[in-house]
Amino acid sequence: MSRHISRSPLAVLLLATLLAALGACSGADRSASPACAGAPATCSARGASASPETAAPAGATAATDRPSPAPSPTAEPTVTAGARTASGTPAATTHCSSPGACGFPDATTTGPRIPLKPHHTGYLAVRTNGLVIRGWDITGALDIYADDVTVIDSRITSDSWWGVNLRPGFSGLRVLHSTVTAVPGKGPDNGGVDYAVSNMGGSSVEVGWCDVSVFGDALSMGQGDLHDNYVHDIVPFVNLGGEWQHTNTVISGGGNTGQLIIRHNTLLNPTGLKQGASGSIGLFADTGVVRNVTVDHNWVAGGAYALYGGDKGATGIKVTDNVFSTQYHPASGGYGVVAHWNAGGAGNVWRNNRMSDGRTVRPGPVT
């Protein structure tokens, strides 16, 4: 999972173990899907997913370093006049003024929906199955050693390795309608903080309608359901190995056995190319083959490349209907839109992806 020079996942586990040592509801989804400002009906903004109701169960209490890639002209987007989607509707031909203007998540459609009560937990190991944490304003970090834990309508401000972490052997974690952020300069990795939501295990984690910021590798997992989130304002830092931390809004190290779904999120990585920018979505074969990933209908911007596509051997990667924004770089990422896309991989699909200015995006081959 980790891509630092200075430590491995085992080191993270040992460090966290040495630290000293969360009810329920969800209403109708707050977000609406406004039409694209000042544009004809070509942006095709899909409505946000419906918010589930979550009931508290009875008795519940409240890296391997990767050098910066060289520019790759094959990954640059192209302009296709009059391009049409598979359904025959025109691709976007005009600018969207912002993610929210095209119906993508932003600060107004994510985060807690109820008043919060302060809880200065520090590092907290959660060991109660079915626990629901709701309405908490947490100063600290949650380390989950239990099944079916839900964090909902809460805020977490961390100065640890993560905001919420699921340990191996446990399942059912959901983080919904919450803000997960950190204090720059206070984290253990040489003053940096690493993972907003981390999945160390082999089960799926759901993260939905969350406002996530600061963390270097914000949503870190091989399998999960990441939807309707707003990830932004990543803060770069030099890690314990003395290198700029490679930053990603979503990162997967490969070797996953389940599915990773990345759908209807706003994923912004403003990190500079000389400050460790990696991807907005980083699908890396660091620990095994990348497989079974859906990247659908997201607003994506920033990184060295906006999307790292899994590399050689990647299969079942579906990248569809995404908007790659030019807000940080003309090609969305500093060097281009996509790198390491395996066009010949079984089940790999690239369809109807476009720039925010309307250009059609076609990936280059794996290099």
pLDDT for 210-245, tens place per residue?
A: 999 999 999 999 999 999 999 999 999 999 999 998
pLDDT at 50: 58
Q: How many other C-beta atoms can be found within 10 angstroms of the C-beta atom of residue 343?
A: 12
Other Cβ atoms closer than 10 A to 262: 27
Q: Which of 100, 74, 65, 4 is nearest to 305 (CA)?
A: 74
Return d(Cα 51, Cα 49) in angstroms, integer: 6
Question: For position 121, what pLDDT does the model report?
Answer: 95
* Centroid of chain to Cα 306: 12
pTM of the entire structure? Answer: 0.79
CA distance 268 to 301: 5
Grouping H, G, I as helix, E, B as strand and the rest as coil, residue 226 is strand
Q: Give the residues of the chain that fall short of pLDDT 70.
A: 1-95, 365-367
CB atoms near residue 143 (< 10 Å)? 24
| 319 beta partners | 295, 350
* pLDDT, position 52: 53
d(CA 251, CA 242): 21
How far is the C-alpha of 100 from the C-alpha of 250, rounded, in Å?
20
